């Protein structure tokens, strides 16, 4: 079993919909949680960075961490075609990041 | 603009050849990393460096080598011992190992 599980998709939704992206993990020691967005043939770009449990909001993006369920989510409101990309979760207990495989998201105009 | 520059964008390797991928950052970050990305897999850590003249192996260091002679630069050499080098290689940096990492735009390496 992988330490971090992420559905590879693709996830296809119409423009304007609310998108929910998720990762599950097995290591209860993880404390730092990140979401990155990666466009094709580009490097990952940091979207959200949270420590421990709770919610964090930044514009149309909300990150949620539920440590009791070992589950993190990224919500995108009012999704746009420019949000079409691969979304990677990453987490760490100390310093080494453990990565999900990424979910490919397609927003249909 | 501050950032991370990787070059070249595309690289081809012949059998038995070593190739070197360049990574330069002007963010004044202490820590730098090399990852390999294969389709359907998460990023896998090859090497990392926390300070100049020091570096550590990651999970898949075999067949790779690095140097860190300057704070700004962290080149990766893919040696002929790496039997399956075709992949997308990403360089990243961070202020220190506890901070989020920032990435370059990668080098795609293929075998001729």
Is A95 a residue whose pLDDT tops 80?
Answer: no
Q: What is chain A's mean pLDDT, rounded?
A: 94
Which residues of chain A neighbour B103 with C-beta distances below 8 Å? Answer: 36, 43-45
Alpha-carbon distance of A61 to A27, in angstroms, equals 25
Q: What is the mean pLDDT of residues A13-41?
A: 96
pLDDT of residue B8: 96
Nearest by CB: A43 against B40, B45, B104: B104
A4/B43 touch (CB, cutoff 8 Å), yes or no:
no
Return the structure tokens found at A82: 């420019």
Q: Classify residue B28 by its DSSP letter.
A: -
- Under 8 Å CB-to-CB from A26, ≥6 apart: which residues? A1, A2, A3, A4, A70
Alpha-carbon distance of A80 to B76, in angstroms, equals 37
A41/B104 touch (CB, cutoff 8 Å), yes or no:
no
Rounded to whole angstroms, what are the CA distances from A27 to A9, A30, A69, B48?
23, 6, 11, 22
Tell me the percentage of chain A whose pLDDT exceeds 70: 100
Q: Classify residue B31 by its DSSP letter.
A: E
**CB contact burial B95-106 (16+ within 10 A = b; e otherwise):** eebeeebbbbbb
* Nearest C-alpha in A relative to B94: A95
Question: CA of A3 to nearest chain B CA: how many angstroms apart?
Answer: 11
- Checking DSSP bridges between strand B54-57 and strand A61-66, what pairing results, if any? unpaired
Is A100 a residue whose pLDDT tops 70?
Answer: yes
Q: A36 with A46: CB under 8 angstroms?
A: yes
**In the A/B pair of chains, how many CB contacts fall below 8 A?**
45
Q: B49 with B31: CB under 8 angstroms?
A: yes
A44/B100 touch (CB, cutoff 8 Å), yes or no:
no
Question: CA of B1 to nearest chain A CA: how many angstroms apart?
Answer: 16
Q: What is chain B's mean pLDDT, rounded?
A: 93
- Checking DSSP bridges between strand A32-38 and strand A85-92, what pairing results, if any? antiparallel
Q: What is the mean pLDDT of residues A4-8?
A: 93
Over residues B67-90, the pLDDT tens digits come to 999 999 999 999 988 889 999 999
Task: Give the three-class secondary structure for B2.
Answer: coil
The band of A81, judged by pLDDT with boundaries at 50, 70 and 90, is very high
Alpha-carbon distance of A45 to A82, in angstroms, equals 14
Task: Please report which helix (H) or strand (E) contains residue A45, including its range.
Answer: strand A45-51
Return the structure tokens found at A7: 């559905």
pLDDT of residue B1: 63
Q: Write the Ramachandran bin of A35: left for phi over 0, alpha for psi from -120 to 50, otherwise beta.
A: beta
Asked if A43 is an interface residue toward chain B (Cβ–Cβ < 8 A), one would say: yes
pLDDT of residue A64: 96
């Amino acid at each position: 079993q992988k330490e971090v599980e992420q559905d590879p998709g693709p996830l296809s939704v119409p423009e304007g919909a609310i998108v929910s992206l998720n990762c599950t993990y097995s290591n209860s020691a993880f404390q730092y949680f990140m979401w990155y967005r990666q466009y094709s043939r580009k490097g990952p770009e940091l979207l959200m960075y949270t420590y421990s449990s709770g919610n964090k909001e930044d514009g149309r993006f909300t990150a949620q961490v539920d440590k009791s369920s070992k589950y993190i989510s990224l919500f995108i409101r009012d999704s746009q075609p420019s949000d079409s990309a691969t979304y990677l979760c990453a987490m760490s207990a100390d310093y080494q990041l453990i990565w999900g495989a990424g979910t490919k998201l397609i927003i249909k105009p | 603009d501050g950032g991370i520059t990787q070059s070249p964008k595309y690289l081809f390797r012949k059998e038995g050849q070593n190739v070197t991928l360049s990574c330069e950052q002007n963010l004044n970050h202490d820590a730098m990393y090399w990852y390999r990305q294969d389709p359907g897999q998460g990023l896998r850590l090859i090497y990392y460096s926390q300070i100049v003249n020091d570096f550590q192996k990651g999970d898949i260091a075999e067949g790779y080598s690095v140097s860190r002679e300057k704070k700004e630069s962290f080149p990766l050499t893919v040696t002929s011992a790496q039997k399956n080098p075709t992949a997308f290689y990403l360089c990243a940096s961070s202020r220190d190992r506890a901070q989020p990492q920032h990435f370059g735009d990668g080098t795609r390496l293929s075998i001729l």
